[in-house]
Structure 1
Amino acid sequence: MSTPIALLIAVLLLAANGFFVAAEFALLAARRSRIEQLAAEGDRRAQHALAGLRELSLMLAGAQLGITMCSLGLGIIAEPAVASVFEDLLHDLVDLPSGVSHAIAFALALSIVVFLHMVVGEMAPKSWAIAHPEPSALLLARPFRLFAVVFRPFIRALNLAANGVVRLAGVEPQDELAMAHSSADLVLMLDEAAEEGSIEVDEHVLLARSLELSGLDAAAAMTPRPRVVSVAETATIDEIEQIAVATGRSRIVVVGTDLDHPVGVVHVRDVLTHRDGRDATAGDLATPVLVAPDGLPLELLFLRMREERRHLALVVDEHGIVLGLVTMEDVLEELIGEFEDETDRRARRVRRQGDGSYLAAGSLRIDEVASRIDVSIPEGDWDTLAGFLINQLGRVPTEGDAVDTATASFEVVAMDGVAVREVRIRRRARRGTTPDPSTPE
C-alpha cells in the first residue's frame, strides 16, 4: 500500500474513532426526557436516539467495538505510514545508520499517532458530545444505529460475554440507563443549579419546598384536634357568628355528638347570607367535609382538595378518630413558607427574641426546627417539638421544665392544659463560633 493511501486511511480511521467516542458519550449525556419529547413530536433522528437509549448496553458495546477496530487500524496502518515519511526525511537530511533512522522515525510516528488518537480521536469528540448532548445524539444516532445493525450479531455475542463476566462479580447488567431520581436527588440537583446561577434563589426555594412535600403526610401539616374550632349542628346563626368573631375562622367544622361524628363545614359567608332566616342551624348550612387518612401524602391531599374544591379536610387515624384538620393554607405554607392573611390570628410559630433565643410552638415539626432555627434534634419516635420533650422528660411537661441537647437547650414556657404550647430554644455556640442575635429569621 502506498504511503499517501495509507495516510488517507489513517485520517478516516481517526475520524471514525472520534465518531464512535462522540456517539457513546452523546447517549450517556443526553436527557432522555428531551429525546422522548422530540420523538413524540415526530423527529426521526430522536426516534433513532431513543431506540439506542432503550438498548444502551448493546449500543455501548457497539461503540467499544468501533473504537477498538479503529485503534487497531491506526496502529497497523498509520504508524508504519508516518514512520516511513519520517524515515525518508531523515535519510535525505542526515546520514544516519538505517537502524538509528528507523528507531527515530518509529518514535516520532508513534508519538504523533498516539497524540492525534488521544486528542482528535478521543478527548475532542468526548468534550463536544458532553457540551452538546442532545444535538450530538440526534446527529449521530442514525449512522451509529446503522453500524449497530450491521454488526449486531457480533456485538450481541461480545455483550453476552461481558454480561457473563459482570454476573460473576455479583452484578446484574442493565440494558437501559437508570434515569429515575428520588426527591432527594432532585433537591441536590436544584442546589447545584442554584450554585451555578441557572435558577434564581426564590425559584430554588419554591422548587425545593415543592419536592420536600413528598416526604410529608396529612398529619404533618394538620392543626391538632384540641385546636380545631367546631360548632354543634344545632348551633344557631347567632352562635356561629359569635364563634367566628372570637376565633377569626371563616370555615368552622360542624359536628354531631362530637368531633368524631362530623356533619360538614359551615362558611361565614353562608351565615351572613342567612341573617334573615334566624331559625336556620349550623346543620342546615353545612356543606360536606373532606376526610383524609393521616398517612395520605400531602401532595395527594392537595390534589384531592383542588379536585373537590375543598379548603378544609379532617384528618383521621385508622380507627376513624379525628386527629385534626388541614386547610389549603396549611398546605400552601408548606410549599411557600408561612404567611398570614386577614383571618389568620395565630401567633407565628417561630419568633426570634432580642437575646438570640427563639420562642417556638410545641406543635412545630422536627424538620421545621432544623430548617428554621438550625437546631438538630435526635431522631426518635416523635414528630413534633412537644413530642420530643415529652419523650425526654418521661411525663407531661410543666412550665419551666428544660431539656438540653448537644446543639440547644429547650425550656417549656407555656402550657395549654396538658399540651405544650410554647418552648424557648437557645442554640449552643458551635465550636469556634458564637450565635449572632442579629441574624434575621
Structure 2
Amino acid sequence: MMDWDLWLTVGAIIVLLAMSAFFSGSETALTAASRARLMQFEKQGSRRAGTASKLMEMRERLIGALLVGNNLVNILSSALATQALLQIFGDTAIVYATFIMTALVLVFSEVLPKTLAILRPEAFALVVAPVVRVIVIIFAPVTNLVNRIVALILRAFGVRADMASVQSAREEIRGAVDLQHADGALHKSDRDRLGAILDLAELDVSDVMVHRTRIRMLDVALPPAELVAEAAASPYTRMPLFEGESDNIVGILHAKDLLRAVQSLGGDMDKLNVRAIAKPPWYVPESTMLHDQLNAFLKKKAHFALVIDEYGEVMGLITLEDIIEEIVGEIEDEYDNEVEGLRVEPDGSVLVDGSVSIRDLNRALDWDLPDDEATTAAGLVIHEAQMIPDVGQAFTFHGVKFEVAERERNRITLLKATRQETE
C-alpha cells in the first residue's frame, strides 16, 4: 500500500513539474513573441493569434496569473517530494528533497521550456494562448489583489507603478532596424531609408531646406531674352523671381510655363511677360514639421515652398523632392552631381562643402555626427569651436578631424574631414 502511495506521489510530482514547465514556457513565449507577426497571423484568420495578442495587451494580469500558477505548482511539488522522501530517508529527506527538486525544476520546468519558447516564441504562443486565457480568468481575483498590494508597497517608497516609462514604438522599431543592420541582415541603404521614415516626425523644414545663400533666383527686371537664357541654363525647373532685392520674391517661375509662353508668342521675346506666367509664392514657417509639410505638398499638389522665419524673412526653400530624398536618399538626374558637396580624396580624407547638411554627411559616410545644435558641417565646426576659425585651423570632435580649407569672410566654405581611428 505504501508503494502504491509513493508511486502516486511521484506521478503527481511529474504532473506538477509539467505544469510548471507550461507556465514558464508560456510566460517567455507571450512576452518574447512579436506582436507584429501575431497581427499578421490574425489578419490571415488565426483566432489563436487574436487571443495571444489580447493576452499581451494585458501584460500585468498575464504575468501575474502565470507567476501565481507557477509558484503554486512548484511549492506543491516540493512539498510532495519532501513528504515522499521522509518515508524513505527520515529527517535527512529535507536536504535530499531540496537538491533533487531544485535540479528537476531548474532543468525541466525553467531552462528547457524557456529555451524552447525563445526559439519559436510565436508558434509556442499560438499553442498555449487558449489555455493561458482561461488561467488568467481563473486567477484574476488573486492577481488583482497581488497587484494592488505591490502598488501600495511601491507607493510607500515613492514609486508610482502607473508612471513607469514605456519605450516608444518608434524607438523600438529603430532599435530593431539597427540590430538587424549590425547582424548583417539589413543593408545600410535599407537601414537609412527605414530610419529616415522614423525621423520625419522629429525634423522640421529648416533641417532639410535649401538655405537662401544657395537659392538660384531670377531677376524679373532682366530683359526677357536674358531671363529665358538664365532659366535654360539652370538645372532647376522652378525658380523664384525677385524684384529689386533678393528678399522681395514676386513669384515662382516654372520652366514648362516659360517654354509654353515662348512657343505661344512664336519666339518673340519682346512680348514675353514673365510676371504674368509666374505662380504666386507659397510661404511656410521654418518650424513646420517635415511630415506635416509632406502631407501639405500632397494635399495641395505642389512641389515648391519658401521657408520663412518668425519675422517673415525668407530663410530658404523646401521642395517635395527634398523630403523624398530624406527617405530614399539622393535622387539624381543628368543635371545633378554624383555626390553634391562631398569629394573623397585618395588619402581617405573627405572634402566637404560647408553648406552640406550633417544628415547628408552621416548618411553618405556612415558617420554619427550630432545635428542637435547645428544643421550644416560648417555650423557644427563653429558650434564646437565656439569661434569662427581661420583657414588651416583643425579641430577634432566626435571622432572626426575637421580642418578649415577655405573661408569667405565669416563663412566656412570648404572643410577637410578625416575619420579618426579609435581603439
TM-score (norm 1): 0.79
1:49 aligns with 2:52: yes
Q: Corresponding residue for 1:252?
A: 239
SS of the residue aligned with 2:101? helix
Offset of residue 363 of structure 1: 1.0
How big is each residue's C-alpha offset from its partner over 1:133-187, in whole Å with a ceiling of 9 and x where there is no partner?
A: 222223222222212222322221122112222223333225999463344x533
SS of the residue aligned with 2:262? coil
SS of the residue aligned with 2:406? strand
Quote the Cα distance in structure 1 between the aligned partners of 2:418 and 2:337: 28
Quote the Cα distance in structure 2 between the aligned partners of 1:375 and 1:34: 32
How big is each residue's C-alpha offset from its partner over 1:67-102, in whole Å with a ceiling of 9 and x where there is no partner?
A: 111011101223434675xx4xxxxxxxxxxxxx55
CA 1:275–1:346 in structure 2 vs 1: closer, same or farther (change >3 Å)? farther
Counterpart among 395, 406, 410 of residue 413 in structure 1 = 406
Quote the Cα distance in structure 2 between the aligned partners of 1:346 and 1:259: 29
Does the 8 Å CA contact 1:3/1:81 hold for their aligned counterparts? yes
Offset of residue 57 of structure 1: 1.2
Counterpart among 70, 80, 83 of residue 80 in structure 1 = 83
1:25 aligns with 2:28: yes
Aligned pairs (5 A) from 1:104-143: 110-143=98-131
Does the 8 Å CA contact 1:20/1:66 hold for their aligned counterparts? yes
Segments of 5+ residues of structure 2 without an aligned counterpart are none
Q: Corresponding residue for 1:160?
A: 148
1:402 aligns with 2:393: yes
CA 1:370–1:149 in structure 2 vs 1: closer, same or farther (change >3 Å)? closer
Does the 8 Å CA contact 2:352/2:417 hold for their aligned counterparts? no
Q: Corresponding residue for 1:58?
A: 61
CA 1:77–1:190 in structure 2 vs 1: closer, same or farther (change >3 Å)? same
Does the 8 Å CA contact 1:35/1:134 hold for their aligned counterparts? yes
Aligned pairs (5 A) from 1:263-342: 263-276=250-263, 277=265, 278=269, 279-338=271-330, 340-342=332-334
Offset of residue 49 of structure 1: 2.5
Segments of 5+ residues of structure 1 without an aligned counterpart are 88-100, 433-441
Moved more, 292-301 or 344-353: 344-353
Does the 8 Å CA contact 1:56/1:175 hold for their aligned counterparts? no
Count of residue pairs brought into register by the alignment:
412
Does the 8 Å CA contact 2:349/2:419 hold for their aligned counterparts? no
Offset of residue 199 of structure 1: 2.6
- Aligned alpha-carbon RMSD (Å): 3.6
Offset of residue 390 of structure 1: 5.3
Counterpart among 4, 7, 13 of residue 4 in structure 1 = 7
SS of the residue aligned with 1:310? coil
Counterpart among 185, 207, 214 of residue 220 in structure 1 = 207
Does the 8 Å CA contact 2:192/2:363 hold for their aligned counterparts? no
Q: Corresponding residue for 1:343?
A: 335
Offset of residue 251 of structure 1: 1.6
CA 1:124–1:356 in structure 2 vs 1: closer, same or farther (change >3 Å)? closer
SS of the residue aligned with 1:292? strand
CA 1:178–1:50 in structure 2 vs 1: closer, same or farther (change >3 Å)? farther
> Letter of the aligned partner of 1:427 in structure 2?
T
Q: Corresponding residue for 1:173?
A: 161
Counterpart among 172, 189, 193 of residue 206 in structure 1 = 193
Quote the Cα distance in structure 2 between the aligned partners of 1:273 and 1:366: 39
> Letter of the aligned partner of 1:162 in structure 2?
V
Q: Corresponding residue for 1:96?
A: none
> Letter of the aligned partner of 1:408 in structure 2?
K
Aligned-residue sequence identity (percent) comes to: 25
How big is each residue's C-alpha offset from its partner over 1:240-279, in whole Å with a ceiling of 9 and x where there is no partner?
A: 4211233322221234665555454322122222223253
Offset of residue 324 of structure 1: 0.8
SS of the residue aligned with 2:161? coil
Q: Corresponding residue for 1:422?
A: 414
1:231 aligns with 2:218: yes
Offset of residue 225 of structure 1: 1.0
CA 1:281–1:342 in structure 2 vs 1: closer, same or farther (change >3 Å)? farther
TM-score (norm 2): 0.82
Quote the Cα distance in structure 1 between the aligned partners of 2:294 and 2:67: 49
Quote the Cα distance in structure 2 between the aligned partners of 1:302 and 1:34: 29
Quote the Cα distance in structure 1 between the aligned partners of 2:370 and 2:11: 69
CA 1:232–1:22 in structure 2 vs 1: closer, same or farther (change >3 Å)? same
